[in-house]
Structures are given as structure tokens and as C-alpha cells.
Structure 1
């Protein structure tokens, strides 16, 4: 019985992982700032937070395969899609910035995780800003573990 309880407790600790990302324009051209947290839940990976400084309107929220933002958000690789699915699993849908440039993010996905083959730790999350130069990838950040 003790072994079962210990195993259940360890499984709970492993599944309670949390990550976060700080969204910025690494080149300093856009005023976008935000923090999102990623929490493993029984319903999937829950992503929530706020992003400020966006142009009002819809913006795509994506996870890309690479975590390299030293040269800006344009070198982060393709959308994260380890299984070559018709719809990449890194495509999280749209968020809407209000007339003050604030977007509240509240997304749950069963496609991504913080461990295993769909692990997003060390990958880039970015906000597609349609009016920005270079395809709109001006706000991004590298996803990391929260201790």
C-alpha cells in the first residue's frame, strides 16, 4: 500500500509542472510585453496571462520549434509540429487585443505538454502581429520551467 501511495504522490508532483514565458520584442522595435503561464491540468495544458502593447484586433498565438530569439522573432523555426499533422499542434488560435492593446490569454490544449514528445520547454511562443514587418513575428519569448 505504501508503494502505491508513494507512486501516486510522485506522479502528482511530476504532473504539477508549470512553465512561463515573458513576451517581448527582442529587437526593441515594438512595445509588446506580457507574461503567460503554462500549467498541466487534467484537461490539458492551460495557458493564461496578459499581453500589452499590441495593435488592436486579432493576433495569432503560436509555438515554434526553436528557442532562439537573439536575432528577433524571425529565426524561431517552423510551427511546432512533431507528428507532421495537417494542422500544426503549435498553432494555438487567435487572441484579441482591445482598443488599448491588451489581450487576455486563456487557452487549453491537449496537443502540447511540458514533457514527452510534445514538450514545449525551450521553444518559442510568439504573437503574430499582422501589421508588423517581416511576417509579423515581433513579439515572442522562450518558454521555461518555473521552479
Structure 2
């Protein structure tokens, strides 16, 4: 089991949250909540590095050990860190409930020590029809982040 505490290291917004990663036989269950968001969908990704300053940019690009293009969680071609979107309600709270069979808490797809980043905009899941879509899903700026640690 692992967890991440999310916040904006630059202090420019009030986005914060806690997300837990629980290992099951053939998937990782990702659960928790994030508050302080604008209503709607926000890209939710695991990035390569556990360095979150300044403004989450130290986290680098999406965790992508196989050099694939960006995609949605169900796509065959995706970054390991592509977990899609979380959706905030009118009060700015997003409930996280994701089952993913690509990330892991050990081995080649180990996410421990890497950063989770919540983005300002919706992840187009690599279907945006431009080069940036195939890298980032056009999800925009980085609102909050944190480093995944073992519980």
C-alpha cells in the first residue's frame, strides 16, 4: 500500500488531497479525494520523478519507461503514468476511484518515489489530433502534486 499527499508547492492555489494506492492480485486500486479544483475534468498522471518543486515542474514528464505515446487508461499505447482524468463536482471536490492494471508498487512499473500531478485542464487521452496531445493529453498546467510513498 502507498499514499500521496497532494498540494501546490508554490502556494498559488488551495488544491490539496490524499490518494492511496492498494495492490490487488492483478490491479492497483487508486482511491481518495482532491479538493480546491475548478468544476470539471482534470488530468491525473504519475510523472517520472519525485522532485516536485518549483510548481511541480521538477516531476518531469509522464512516467513512460517504454517510450510510448500518451493515451487513456484503457489504451494499449499509453504511458505507464496515464491514469486519465478525475472529475470535480460543483464544490471543487473530485473523488478518485481508479483500477489500473499497468502501474505497480514494485518491479518495472513501480510508482513508489514518483510524483502524482493534478492538471488544470482535461486530459484528451491522446485523441486531440496534435503533437502535444500525444505527449501530455493537452491537460495544461500543474495545479498540485506530491511524492508517492509506502504506507
Same fold at TM > 0.5 = yes
The count of corresponding residues between Structure 1 and Structure 2 is 126
Q: Is the 8 A contact 1:43 1:108 kept in 2?
A: no
Structure 1: runs of 5+ lacking an equivalent: 1-17
Name the counterpart of 1:15: none
Alignment of 1:56-135 (within 5 A): 56-86=39-69, 87-130=78-121, 135=140
Rounded to whole Å, the distance in 2 between the matches of 1:65 and 1:71 is: 15
Instruction: Report how far residue 43 of structure 1 moved.
Output: 3.5
Answer yes or no: is the 8 Å Cα contact 1:73–1:137 preserved in 2.
yes
1:32-90 CA-to-partner distances (Å, cap 9, x unmatched) read 11000001012301100000000111001000001101322122111101112232121
CA distance in 2, matches of 1:102, 1:43: 29
Greater radius of gyration (CA): 1
Q: Is the 8 A contact 1:114 1:121 kept in 2?
A: yes
Shift of 1:142: 0.4
- C-alpha displacement of 1:130: 2.4
Q: Counterpart in 1 of 2:144?
A: 139
Q: Does 60-69 or 78-87 show the bigger shift?
A: 78-87
Q: How does 1:33-52 map to 2 (within 5 A)?
A: 33-52=16-35
User: Which secondary structure does the structure 2 equivalent of 1:99 belong to?
Assistant: coil
Name stretches of at least 5 consecutive residues in structure 2 with no aligned partner: 70-77, 123-139
Query: Which structure's residues are more often helix, by fraction?
Result: 1
1:9 matched residue in structure 2? none
TM-score calculated relative to the size of structure 2 = 0.80
TM-score under structure 1 length normalisation: 0.82
Cα root mean square deviation, aligned = 1.3
**Cα drift, residue 129 of structure 1:** 1.1
Q: Paired residue for 2:14?
A: 31
Matched residues in 1 for 2:90 and 2:26: separation? 32
